[in-house]
Amino acid sequence: MSDAPALSLVGVEKAYNHGAPNEVAVLRGADLDVAQGEVVALVAPSGAGKSTLLHIAGLLDVADAGSVRVSGHETTGLSDRRRTMMRRRDVGFVYQFHHLLPEFTARENIVLPQLANGVAGVEAEARADGLLSSVGVGQRAGHRPAAMSGGEQQRVAFCRALANSPRLLLADEPTGNLDPATSDQVFDMLLQLVRDTGLSALIATHNLGLAARMDRQVRLEDGVVRAM
Protein backbone atom coordinates (compact mmCIF):
# COMPACT_ATOMS: atom_id res chain seq x y z
CA MET A 1 0.00 0.00 0.00
CA SER A 2 2.83 2.40 0.88
CA ASP A 3 4.09 2.76 -2.69
CA ALA A 4 0.59 3.05 -4.17
CA PRO A 5 0.00 6.20 -6.24
CA ALA A 6 -1.37 9.15 -4.26
CA LEU A 7 -4.21 9.24 -6.78
CA SER A 8 -5.32 6.69 -9.31
CA LEU A 9 -8.25 7.22 -11.66
CA VAL A 10 -9.21 4.33 -13.92
CA GLY A 11 -11.94 4.55 -16.55
CA VAL A 12 -13.70 7.42 -14.82
CA GLU A 13 -16.95 8.49 -16.46
CA LYS A 14 -19.17 11.40 -15.53
CA ALA A 15 -22.19 12.92 -17.25
CA TYR A 16 -24.46 15.66 -16.01
CA ASN A 17 -28.21 15.09 -16.42
CA HIS A 18 -27.34 11.42 -16.82
CA GLY A 19 -29.81 9.60 -19.11
CA ALA A 20 -31.78 12.76 -19.93
CA PRO A 21 -32.03 14.23 -23.44
CA ASN A 22 -29.80 17.11 -22.33
CA GLU A 23 -27.08 14.80 -20.97
CA VAL A 24 -23.57 16.32 -20.99
CA ALA A 25 -20.91 13.59 -21.01
CA VAL A 26 -17.85 15.25 -19.48
CA LEU A 27 -15.51 12.38 -18.56
CA ARG A 28 -15.52 9.38 -20.91
CA GLY A 29 -13.07 6.95 -19.40
CA ALA A 30 -10.40 9.16 -17.82
CA ASP A 31 -7.26 7.40 -16.56
CA LEU A 32 -4.64 9.19 -14.47
CA ASP A 33 -2.07 8.24 -11.84
CA VAL A 34 -0.29 10.77 -9.64
CA ALA A 35 2.70 9.12 -7.95
CA GLN A 36 3.74 9.91 -4.40
CA GLY A 37 5.59 13.22 -4.34
CA GLU A 38 4.72 13.95 -7.97
CA VAL A 39 3.33 17.30 -9.12
CA VAL A 40 1.17 17.00 -12.24
CA ALA A 41 -0.24 19.83 -14.33
CA LEU A 42 -3.74 19.31 -15.71
CA VAL A 43 -4.12 21.52 -18.77
CA ALA A 44 -7.39 22.01 -20.60
CA PRO A 45 -9.53 24.79 -22.00
CA SER A 46 -12.43 26.08 -19.98
CA GLY A 47 -15.39 23.70 -20.11
CA ALA A 48 -13.27 20.60 -20.78
CA GLY A 49 -14.09 19.11 -17.38
CA LYS A 50 -11.13 20.03 -15.15
CA SER A 51 -13.31 20.98 -12.19
CA THR A 52 -15.40 17.84 -12.66
CA LEU A 53 -12.28 15.67 -12.61
CA LEU A 54 -10.81 17.47 -9.59
CA HIS A 55 -14.08 17.20 -7.65
CA ILE A 56 -14.24 13.46 -8.33
CA ALA A 57 -10.56 13.00 -7.44
CA GLY A 58 -11.12 15.04 -4.27
CA LEU A 59 -14.14 12.96 -3.23
CA LEU A 60 -16.47 15.96 -3.46
CA ASP A 61 -18.44 14.25 -6.22
CA VAL A 62 -18.87 10.65 -7.37
CA ALA A 63 -18.17 9.18 -10.79
CA ASP A 64 -20.85 7.35 -12.79
CA ALA A 65 -18.35 4.59 -13.56
CA GLY A 66 -14.70 3.74 -13.04
CA SER A 67 -12.42 3.61 -10.04
CA VAL A 68 -10.98 6.37 -7.85
CA ARG A 69 -8.21 5.34 -5.45
CA VAL A 70 -6.62 7.74 -2.99
CA SER A 71 -3.35 6.48 -1.46
CA GLY A 72 -4.26 2.99 -2.64
CA HIS A 73 -7.72 3.00 -1.05
CA GLU A 74 -10.64 2.37 -3.37
CA THR A 75 -13.31 5.00 -2.78
CA THR A 76 -16.04 3.66 -5.06
CA GLY A 77 -19.05 2.59 -3.04
CA LEU A 78 -17.96 4.31 0.19
CA SER A 79 -20.74 5.82 2.29
CA ASP A 80 -20.95 9.63 2.35
CA ARG A 81 -19.61 9.58 5.89
CA ARG A 82 -16.53 7.51 5.04
CA ARG A 83 -15.94 9.61 1.95
CA THR A 84 -16.05 12.81 4.01
CA MET A 85 -13.66 11.38 6.60
CA MET A 86 -11.23 10.32 3.91
CA ARG A 87 -11.45 13.70 2.19
CA ARG A 88 -10.75 15.57 5.42
CA ARG A 89 -7.77 13.40 6.22
CA ASP A 90 -6.15 12.78 2.85
CA VAL A 91 -7.01 15.60 0.46
CA GLY A 92 -6.37 19.36 0.41
CA PHE A 93 -8.20 21.65 -2.01
CA VAL A 94 -7.31 25.08 -3.40
CA TYR A 95 -9.69 26.96 -5.67
CA GLN A 96 -9.23 29.92 -8.00
CA PHE A 97 -10.93 32.14 -5.42
CA HIS A 98 -9.67 31.82 -1.88
CA HIS A 99 -13.04 30.91 -0.27
CA LEU A 100 -11.71 31.87 3.16
CA LEU A 101 -14.37 32.50 5.80
CA PRO A 102 -14.61 36.31 5.95
CA GLU A 103 -15.54 36.64 9.62
CA PHE A 104 -12.50 34.67 10.79
CA THR A 105 -8.81 35.60 10.88
CA ALA A 106 -6.19 33.90 8.72
CA ARG A 107 -5.10 31.79 11.70
CA GLU A 108 -8.70 30.81 12.53
CA ASN A 109 -9.33 29.79 8.91
CA ILE A 110 -6.48 27.28 9.26
CA VAL A 111 -7.39 26.21 12.79
CA LEU A 112 -11.04 25.36 12.03
CA PRO A 113 -10.44 22.40 9.68
CA GLN A 114 -8.00 20.98 12.22
CA LEU A 115 -10.56 21.24 15.05
CA ALA A 116 -13.05 19.44 12.78
CA ASN A 117 -10.46 16.68 12.53
CA GLY A 118 -10.04 16.38 16.30
CA VAL A 119 -6.80 18.36 16.74
CA ALA A 120 -6.49 20.29 20.04
CA GLY A 121 -6.74 24.10 19.85
CA VAL A 122 -3.21 24.96 21.00
CA GLU A 123 -1.66 22.47 18.61
CA ALA A 124 -3.86 23.67 15.73
CA GLU A 125 -2.83 27.31 16.34
CA ALA A 126 0.84 26.39 16.39
CA ARG A 127 0.48 24.54 13.10
CA ALA A 128 -1.45 27.44 11.56
CA ASP A 129 1.24 29.92 12.57
CA GLY A 130 4.00 27.67 11.26
CA LEU A 131 2.27 27.27 7.90
CA LEU A 132 1.59 31.01 7.58
CA SER A 133 5.24 31.82 8.33
CA SER A 134 6.42 29.27 5.76
CA VAL A 135 4.66 31.21 3.00
CA GLY A 136 5.69 34.62 4.29
CA VAL A 137 2.38 35.78 5.82
CA GLY A 138 3.08 35.02 9.48
CA GLN A 139 2.52 38.66 10.38
CA ARG A 140 -1.00 38.43 8.93
CA ALA A 141 -2.18 35.62 11.24
CA GLY A 142 -4.56 37.88 13.19
CA HIS A 143 -6.01 39.63 10.11
CA ARG A 144 -9.27 38.87 8.37
CA PRO A 145 -9.24 38.08 4.62
CA ALA A 146 -10.69 41.48 3.68
CA ALA A 147 -7.59 43.17 5.11
CA MET A 148 -5.24 41.18 2.87
CA SER A 149 -4.14 41.41 -0.76
CA GLY A 150 -5.25 38.76 -3.28
CA GLY A 151 -1.83 37.10 -3.17
CA GLU A 152 -1.88 36.98 0.62
CA GLN A 153 -5.41 35.58 0.68
CA GLN A 154 -4.38 32.82 -1.69
CA ARG A 155 -1.31 31.98 0.40
CA VAL A 156 -3.60 31.61 3.42
CA ALA A 157 -5.84 29.35 1.33
CA PHE A 158 -2.80 27.13 0.57
CA CYS A 159 -2.10 26.90 4.30
CA ARG A 160 -5.71 25.95 4.97
CA ALA A 161 -5.50 23.20 2.32
CA LEU A 162 -2.44 21.79 4.09
CA ALA A 163 -3.85 22.23 7.61
CA ASN A 164 -4.54 18.54 8.14
CA SER A 165 -1.33 17.34 6.42
CA PRO A 166 -3.07 15.72 3.43
CA ARG A 167 -1.16 13.42 1.09
CA LEU A 168 -2.74 14.88 -2.01
CA LEU A 169 -3.28 18.50 -2.99
CA LEU A 170 -5.82 19.31 -5.69
CA ALA A 171 -5.82 22.83 -7.07
CA ASP A 172 -8.15 24.41 -9.62
CA GLU A 173 -6.44 27.41 -11.29
CA PRO A 174 -4.94 28.35 -7.91
CA THR A 175 -3.39 31.60 -9.12
CA GLY A 176 -5.82 32.29 -11.97
CA ASN A 177 -7.35 35.26 -10.19
CA LEU A 178 -4.05 37.10 -9.60
CA ASP A 179 -2.14 39.51 -11.82
CA PRO A 180 0.72 37.81 -13.75
CA ALA A 181 3.59 38.96 -11.50
CA THR A 182 1.77 38.03 -8.28
CA SER A 183 0.59 34.78 -9.83
CA ASP A 184 4.19 33.80 -10.60
CA GLN A 185 5.40 34.58 -7.10
CA VAL A 186 2.48 32.90 -5.32
CA PHE A 187 2.73 29.87 -7.59
CA ASP A 188 6.43 29.51 -6.66
CA MET A 189 5.41 29.48 -3.01
CA LEU A 190 2.79 26.82 -3.62
CA LEU A 191 5.31 24.62 -5.45
CA GLN A 192 7.89 25.16 -2.70
CA LEU A 193 5.36 24.24 -0.04
CA VAL A 194 4.41 21.10 -1.97
CA ARG A 195 8.07 20.10 -2.45
CA ASP A 196 8.97 20.79 1.19
CA THR A 197 6.15 18.60 2.47
CA GLY A 198 6.65 15.82 -0.10
CA LEU A 199 2.99 16.12 -1.09
CA SER A 200 1.55 14.87 -4.35
CA ALA A 201 -0.37 17.45 -6.34
CA LEU A 202 -2.68 17.73 -9.31
CA ILE A 203 -2.90 21.36 -10.38
CA ALA A 204 -5.21 22.57 -13.12
CA THR A 205 -4.01 25.56 -15.09
CA HIS A 206 -4.47 27.25 -18.47
CA ASN A 207 -0.99 28.70 -18.13
CA LEU A 208 1.57 26.64 -20.03
CA GLY A 209 4.45 28.50 -18.35
CA LEU A 210 3.22 27.40 -14.92
CA ALA A 211 2.48 23.90 -16.21
CA ALA A 212 6.08 23.56 -17.42
CA ARG A 213 7.34 24.04 -13.86
CA MET A 214 5.61 20.86 -12.71
CA ASP A 215 6.99 17.32 -13.00
CA ARG A 216 4.57 16.21 -15.70
CA GLN A 217 1.86 17.73 -17.87
CA VAL A 218 -1.34 16.04 -19.00
CA ARG A 219 -4.26 17.46 -20.90
CA LEU A 220 -7.93 16.72 -20.63
CA GLU A 221 -9.46 16.37 -24.07
CA ASP A 222 -12.69 14.73 -25.25
CA GLY A 223 -13.26 13.41 -21.75
CA VAL A 224 -9.97 11.50 -21.50
CA VAL A 225 -6.55 12.35 -20.08
CA ARG A 226 -3.66 12.41 -22.55
CA ALA A 227 0.08 12.93 -22.07
CA MET A 228 1.53 16.21 -23.39
Does the footprint of ligand ADP cover residue 130 (CB under 6 A)? no
Given the rule CB under 6 A, which of 45-53, 68-76, 77-85, 110-118 is the region that contacts ligand ADP?
45-53
Does the footprint of ligand ADP cover residue 46 (CB under 6 A)? yes
User: Residue 46 CB, nearest distance to ligand ADP (Å)?
Assistant: 4
Residues in the chain: 228
Does the footprint of ligand ADP cover residue 52 (CB under 6 A)? yes
User: Residue 220 CB, nearest distance to ligand ADP (Å)?
Assistant: 7
C-alpha separations of 52 from 48, 49, 111 in Å: 9, 5, 28
Pick one of 8, 51, 75, 134: the residue that binds ligand ADP (CB under 6 A).
Answer: 51
Does the footprint of ligand ADP cover residue 14 (CB under 6 A)? no
Instruction: Tell me which DSSP letter residue 31 carries.
Output: E
Name which of residues 21 to 40 contact ligand ADP (CB under 6 A): 24, 26
Across the beta sheet with 73-74, the strand order is: 24-34, 7-16, 65-70, 73-74
Closer residue to ligand ADP in complex, CB, 59/156: 59
Please, which residues have CB within 8 angstroms of residue 192's CB and are 6 or more apart in sequence? none
- 166 contacts 199 by C-beta, under 8 angstroms: yes
Q: Which amino acid is residue 207, in one-letter code?
A: N
Does the footprint of ligand ADP cover residue 154 (CB under 6 A)? no
Contacting residues toward ligand ADP, per CB under 6 A = 16-17, 24, 26, 44, 46-52
